[in-house]
Amino acid sequence: MEDTTTAAAARASTPKLPTVDARIFPGGGLDVLSREEVARLRDASTGGMHELLRRCALAVLTTGSTSDDPRAARELYPDFDIQVHQLDRGLRLDLFNAPAIAFVDGRIIQGVAELLAAVVRDLVYTAIDLGSGHSGEPESSAEISDAVFRLLRNAHVLHPGGDPNLVVCWGGHSINRDEYMYTKEVGYQLGLRGLDICTGCGPGAMKGPMKGATIAHAKQRRTDTRYIGITEPGIIAAESPNPIVNHLVIMPDIEKRLESFVRLGHGIIVFAGGVGTAEEILYLLGILLREENSHIPFPLVLTGPTAAAPYFEQIDQFLRLTLGDAATVRYRIIIDDPAEVAREMARGIDRVRKFRIEQKDSFFFNWSLDVPLGFQQPFVPSHEAMAALDLHRNRPPHELAADLRRAFSGIVAGNVKEDGMRRVEEFGPYQIHGDKDLMQALDGLLRAFVEQRRMKIAGEYKPCYQIVA
């Protein structure tokens, strides 16, 4: 990707941060588009989609930011804009008042340029190629899984020729220094064993494993390495990608993002985190507890340093209470032993490899896993929808897990997504109803997240929810 700076001197915009105007000529497949495709891209990037493109572009141009307020970047760079122009041999992106931190001596940083191209690629593919399929119309489970596959294929993250080696790492963006260093050490041990990393692409536990793996991959002289970051528009605005991500994928919504993780990854490691991490755990266990998936190997390890042991004990107790002891069979908790985490994951992925060969399933996309429609349909966390969640224990575990996942998803929205934050500011906290003992356990878990500062990176946390037994 090449760029030409059109304003030699950085300018200042409120609050006086340096900015740059630039022209970007993106590659990565965007330079071989037909005239019709470029015209459709230009149409898609104006009007209703333009603001979404602007928000996501600004997020990658501030790559490495530690803020988790989706409005912070726009307040720092209120005059930023991006325009798409058609050329005979592709397209041109014009950046106005772009953050100067994305440039070195007037040229855009290569990694940032690649992430910017990924933003355009994914938003355009969702708007044009998937069309009205994401407008809220009913879709079958098979159609949604196929859409996830096509989005990942379009992003060039499906590798049909390689052995299983992709480990998904989940965990909080707001973690302490000891927990962060632990994620780096686990990533290092994974990298020594030739394993690649996929995370939610942000800071904290999403950055640490990638950073550790880079050193191990360098020691092993591995150059074709993958550091995949999977996000969605509401999250990326609050959690800019970390600079190690070399494959960025923006899924249309949180449900397709979660399905991407479990279809693409060969095993999952969970570090300490907050409500987003709890949402991810419930999503995966809700799927694995289905009878249709009981025979499918899927290594799942929960891990952290010694100081994080009480956190995982509390998570384990909550899962036992809500989903039953059967859920604990699907995961292993390992405390303060990064090497054993990596060995356990390598052993698990070897079982995945043998199973896929027996089932004649692909290594690069887990078609065998049955993901029910209830886990795929986008959940819009309105106050009415949150209050209507059926959080009672007289339900099959996977159904309860689905609604608990939605509850945590709503809290995530109220914490860091602009639409959710706006709803809470206008109508007050979400109300969550359910069985008394379940609500007490949920309240205790959420209070612990607040006390441990796992809800927000900066500032005092004001709860966006209210537990009602």
User: Residue 318 is part of a domain; what is its CATH number?
Assistant: 3.40.50.450
Same domain, yes or no: 159 and 270: yes
pLDDT more than 90, % of the chain: 63
Q: Considering the domain boundaries, does residue 365 fall inside one?
A: no
Lookup: tokens for 308: 């994080």
Cβ-Cβ contacts under 8 Å for 421 (sequence gap 6 or more): 70, 71, 413, 414, 415, 464
| Whether residues 160 and 221 fall in one domain | yes
Residue 93 scores a pLDDT above 80: yes
Of 183, 164, 188, 162, residue with least CA distance to 172? 183
- List, for residues 174-188, the tens digit of each pLDDT value: 889 999 999 999 999
Q: Domain of 319?
A: 142-359
SS3 97: strand
Q: Is the residue at 305 inside a domain?
A: yes
What angle do the packed helices 418-427 and 397-416 form, to 10 degrees?
Answer: 80
Most confident listed range (50-54, 87-91, 165-169, 380-384): 165-169
pTM greater than the 0.95 cutoff: no
- Is the pLDDT confidence value at 134 over 50? no
pLDDT of residue 124: 81
| In a domain? residue 282 | yes
What pLDDT is recorded for position 36?
Answer: 67
Mean pLDDT of 72-101: 85
The mean of the pLDDT values for the chain is: 88
180 shares a domain with 67? no
Give the span between the Cα atoms of 17 and 171, in whole angstroms: 32
Please state, in angstroms and rounded to a whole number, the distance separating the CA atoms of residues 51 and 49. Answer: 6
Helix 275-288 and helix 309-323, axial crossing angle in degrees, nearest 10: 40
Mean pLDDT of 327-344: 97
Same domain, 277 and 320: yes
Q: Are 220 and 193 in contact (CB under 8 A)?
A: no
Residue 110 lies in a domain: yes
C-alpha to C-alpha distance for 271 and 259, rounded to whole angstroms: 19
Q: Could you say which of 311, 331, 359 is where a domain stops? A: 359
Q: Does 123 fall in a domain? A: yes
Pick the residue with more confidence: 368 or 70?
368
In a domain, 137, yes or no: no
Same domain for 230 and 316: yes
**Is the pLDDT at 1 greater than 60, yes or no?**
no
pLDDT over 60 (residue 193): yes
CATH number at residue 125: 3.30.1850.10
Q: Is 424 exposed, middle or buried (0-12, 13-18, 19+ CB in 10 A)?
A: buried
Residues 194, 118 within the same domain: no
Can you give the pLDDT at residue 66? 62
- Average confidence (pLDDT) over 313-338: 94
Mean pLDDT within 270-281: 93
- pLDDT tens column, 211-263: 999 999 999 999 999 999 999 988 887 788 999 999 999 999 999 999 999 99
Decide: helix, strand or coil at residue 354.
helix
State which of 62, 94, 129 marks the end of a domain: 129
Residues 122 and 147 in one domain: no
Q: Judge whether residue 297 has pLDDT over 70.
A: yes
DSSP H/E element including 142: helix 141-154
66: three-class secondary structure by DSSP: coil
pLDDT surpasses 60 at 47: no
Among 75, 100, 129, the domain boundary falls at: 129
Mean pLDDT of all residues in 335-355:
98
CA distance 167 to 349: 9
Residue 371 placed within a domain: no
Burial string for 439-456 (b: 16+ CB within 10 Å, else e) reads bebbbebbebbeebbbbb
**284 and 224 within one domain:** yes
Answer positive or negative: Cα dihedral of 409, 410, 416, 419: positive
| Residue 135 located in a structural domain | no
Average pLDDT over residues 155-172: 94
Indicate whether 228 and 290 sit together in one domain: yes
Looking at the structure of the chain, the number of domains it has is 3
* One domain for residues 266 and 335: yes
**Per-residue pLDDT averaged across 79-83, rounded?**
90
pLDDT tens figures, 386-410:
999 999 988 898 899 999 999 999 9
* Res 316 pLDDT > 90: yes
Residue 453: its pLDDT value, please? 82
Question: 136 falls in which pLDDT band (50, 70, 90)?
Answer: very low
Q: Which helix (H) or strand (E) holds 104?
A: strand 103-104
Assess whether 166 and 226 both reside in one domain: yes
Q: What pLDDT, on the 0 to 100 scale, is given for residue 152?
A: 96
Strand, coil or helix: what is 277?
A: helix
3-22 pLDDT, tens digit per residue, is 544 443 344 444 568 999 99
Question: pLDDT tens digit string along 398-456?
Answer: 899 999 999 999 998 888 788 888 899 999 999 999 999 999 999 899 888 888 888 76
Task: Tell me, yes or no, whether 271 and 160 share the same domain.
Answer: yes
